[in-house]
Chains A and B, each alone.
Chain A
């Protein structure tokens, strides 16, 4: 039998940094010597851009649209350091069914045993924003990804989205679906941001895998069409991504999270709002103010 392929899905609110983080994880894993595939599950089909000098690749669904029998290998493109890049793609905005598109694209790869054939160590699914319908839950269903990581900032909307995702994971958890590896805290610069995320993972019985600061190096790299790992390998930010990748590579067992109910989440957010207001008006001092 072939080796066990680690299949990971990255979820999170729209625009929170999923693709950026995923691409940097893929790039870092590949520099560590692993064979990686990054599978973009987003009709925008821009997940793998920074692995391929900013270039778009033909998507699985565009190819299926024109041809009845698609060889999955025809929609796999090599990117930075030999990373296999795939974009599921989808219908034009406002028409068709993007969720079904994701299902179709993922199934094509499963049916043709592509992951095994390419002898991969990692497949990372970068999945569009919120899990809006059944199709977007496909990567966390039985037999596809085993570990889910959520990218979240300390913004409440991002936390809400993460909490929703936890609910989805919990729902499928006793039927062999993917479990939660943890939260990748993105754009964490302010001390209170770390406090908020730390508190959230405590409440929901999960963990933070890595704190990734917001950094201009990321922006500069992106403008060159590259990941930070490729464009600025010696930067502090690249070290953080590398660290994150190592943690993911070492990560073994994921767990079922305990999402907050809507009421709990609201109360939790209200408490933090009061706290932040107090911080701003100087009523209290941040516990990290001396760092």
Chain B
């Protein structure tokens, strides 16, 4: 653990987690459910699946379960009998019953702790179905393996290896696979992925967005091997998948750690990707020109408010959340709004090997802003760090989660909920990224700031 000293606090391991900020490995059921037409099948005990639903898809923007999530997923509901005698037979029965009554284009079996501890050979149950041509795969997502980020890459890999399978045909010149936010964990993933797809299509790509409304589901996943390259837009999530794909289908990948927010970042992002893929410059620049024209039209009007209302606006910010949004939002508010950073707290527990890269991003947040970031998962430390941060004489803005509400109340700042759990937000398809999402974020930030005195 790269724990350390921050704001005079010595961060020591607490060996406990207060106020959870992610799901368990099995939470990746929601990665499966995020693929249109896919149905997760849970090989776990009673309660596990429901907990993931309530945490990730309910009290987190009230996103809802949709076709394959929520109350839908069939579960083995393993009990004493399955622990003692093994759960293979029960799972087989469940799969058969599922196929009878639920129409899915892709079924994903996810194992919970019980099956994996007693050594159920889920592969041997699933493979006969696969051999019969049923679109089904399985991922070993016992909760002890890590969080839902870990689970997400396990599920992704399972679908690729067992359902998409080998391919050595032609590549499609402009087709790209996008690996970015973690569905459902990121409260705004639906709107964000839609915006990312829109802008990439705008400059001439065909986009496999793979999750959410813009995805064509199982059929789209089948075309993954045809893509010319993989685009990872996140500080670390998706890199394992991209590495696997580069071996499996000889696809190169571009790692772009910063999910772009606002015209400056988004245009830079588009140019980088276009350059990597060798897209036609004219089309790219034309799209950027159009988008920026629209963007600055609105921003010009907003600038009256921003210039005149200075006395009532926050100057400093603190931010708590998943590395993807902590980095993306920080870049935006520092570079575009001139907010002053006070503390950056990352809680998605990125694998050790990616932490240095993330730290580096924060050291060059802007050409003249170098910041430190801290990795903690326990709400106890999040609270302590925020309480020990010097936010200056004005109430700060805190980008965080519902958990930060009580802490922030004490020192009188405003909370903008940007991540799990966002229980005081109702989110349908709002986006905070790209050209268009930036405005939603601005609206949210400043509505929160000025309504404090309402």
Is this pair of chains taken from one and the same complex? yes
Question: How would you classify the secondary structure of chain A's contact residues: helix, strand, loop or mixed?
Answer: loop
- Max chain A CB contacts within 10 Å: which of B118, B120, B121, B127? B121
Report the number of A-B residue pairs with Cβ-Cβ less than 8 Å. Answer: 43
Knowing A174-B128, A175-B128, the reply to whether A134 touches B123 (Cβ < 8 A) is no
Knowing A69-B352, A134-B86, A175-B128, the reply to whether A142 touches B123 (Cβ < 8 A) is yes
Say whether B116 faces chain A, with CB atoms less than 8 Å apart. Answer: yes
Asked if residues A141 and B124 are in contact (CB atoms below 8 Å), the reply is: yes
Chain B hits for A134, CB < 8 A: 86, 118-121
Task: Provide the bound-state CA to CA distance between A68 and B150, in Å.
Answer: 15
Asked if residues B117 and A141 are in contact (CB atoms below 8 Å), the reply is: no
Chain B hits for A137, CB < 8 A: 119, 121
Task: Provide the bound-state CA to CA distance between A68 and B117, in Å.
Answer: 19
Chain A hits for B116, CB < 8 A: 100, 103
Minimum C-beta distance from A11 to chain B (A): 15
Task: Provide the bound-state CA to CA distance between A259 and B14, in Å.
Answer: 53
Asked if residues B127 and A142 are in contact (CB atoms below 8 Å), the reply is: yes
Of the candidates A100, A136, A175, which one forms a contact with B123 in the assembled complex, judged by CB atoms under 8 Å apart? A175
Count how many chain B residues have C-beta atoms less than 8 Å from C-beta atoms of the other chain.
Answer: 12
CB contact list, B119-133 vs A, under 8 A: 119-121, 123-124, 127-128
Task: Provide the bound-state CA to CA distance between A157 and B116, in Å.
Answer: 30
Q: Which of chain B's residues has its CB closest to A100's CB?
A: B117
Of the candidates B117, B124, B352, which one forms a contact with A172 in the assembled complex, judged by CB atoms under 8 Å apart? B124
Asked if residues B123 and A99 are in contact (CB atoms below 8 Å), the reply is: no
| Residue interface mask B334-357, A partner, CB < 8 A = 1 | 000000000000000000100000
Minimum C-beta distance from B155 to chain A (A): 16
Chain A hits for B117, CB < 8 A: 97, 99-100
Say whether A213 faces chain B, with CB atoms less than 8 Å apart. Answer: no
Say whether A176 faces chain B, with CB atoms less than 8 Å apart. Answer: yes
Chain B hits for A175, CB < 8 A: 121, 123-124, 127-128
| Residue interface mask B70-105, A partner, CB < 8 A = 1 | 000000000000000010000000000000000000
Minimum C-beta distance from A212 to chain B (A): 31
Say whether A181 faces chain B, with CB atoms less than 8 Å apart. Answer: no
| Residue interface mask B104-144, A partner, CB < 8 A = 1 | 00000000000011111101100110000000000000000
Say whether A133 faces chain B, with CB atoms less than 8 Å apart. Answer: yes
Chain B hits for A176, CB < 8 A: 124, 127
Task: Provide the bound-state CA to CA distance between A24 and B400, in Å.
Answer: 61
Minimum C-beta distance from B128 to chain A (A): 6
Asked if residues A100 and B124 are in contact (CB atoms below 8 Å), the reply is: no
Task: Provide the bound-state CA to CA distance between A245 and B402, in Å.
Answer: 65
CB contact list, A144-201 vs B, under 8 A: 172, 174-177
Chain A hits for B120, CB < 8 A: 134
Q: Which of chain B's residues has its CB closest to A138's CB?
A: B119
Q: Which of chain A's residues has its CB closest to B352's CB?
A: A69
| Residue interface mask A62-97, B partner, CB < 8 A = 1 | 000000110000000000000000000000000001
Task: Provide the bound-state CA to CA distance between A133 and B121, in Å.
Answer: 11
Say whether A54 faces chain B, with CB atoms less than 8 Å apart. Answer: no
Chain B hits for A135, CB < 8 A: 119
Chain A hits for B121, CB < 8 A: 134, 137, 141-142, 172, 175, 177
Q: Which of chain B's residues has its CB closest to A102's CB?
A: B119
Task: Provide the bound-state CA to CA distance between A172 and B128, in Å.
Answer: 11
Q: Which of chain B's residues has its CB closest to A140's CB?
A: B121
CB contact list, A100-154 vs B, under 8 A: 100, 103, 133-138, 141-143
Asked if residues B124 and A142 are in contact (CB atoms below 8 Å), the reply is: yes
Q: Which of chain B's residues has its CB closest to A97's CB?
A: B117
Hey, which bits of chain A sit against chain B, CB under 8 A?
A: 68-69, 97, 99-100, 103, 133-138, 141-143, 172, 174-177
List of 10 A-B pairs having minimum Cβ-Cβ separation, nearest first: A134-B119, A175-B124, A135-B119, A99-B119, A175-B127, A100-B117, A134-B118, A141-B121, A142-B123, A172-B124
15 other A-B residue contacts (CB within 8 Å) besides A100-B116, A133-B119, A142-B124: A69-B352, A134-B118, A134-B119, A134-B120, A134-B121, A136-B119, A137-B119, A138-B119, A141-B123, A175-B121, A175-B123, A175-B127, A176-B127, A177-B121, A177-B124
List 30 A-B pairs, Cβ < 8 Å.
A99-B118, A99-B119, A100-B116, A100-B117, A100-B119, A103-B116, A103-B119, A133-B118, A133-B119, A134-B86, A134-B118, A134-B119, A134-B120, A134-B121, A135-B119, A141-B121, A141-B123, A141-B124, A142-B121, A142-B123, A142-B124, A143-B123, A172-B121, A172-B124, A174-B128, A175-B121, A175-B123, A175-B128, A176-B124, A177-B121
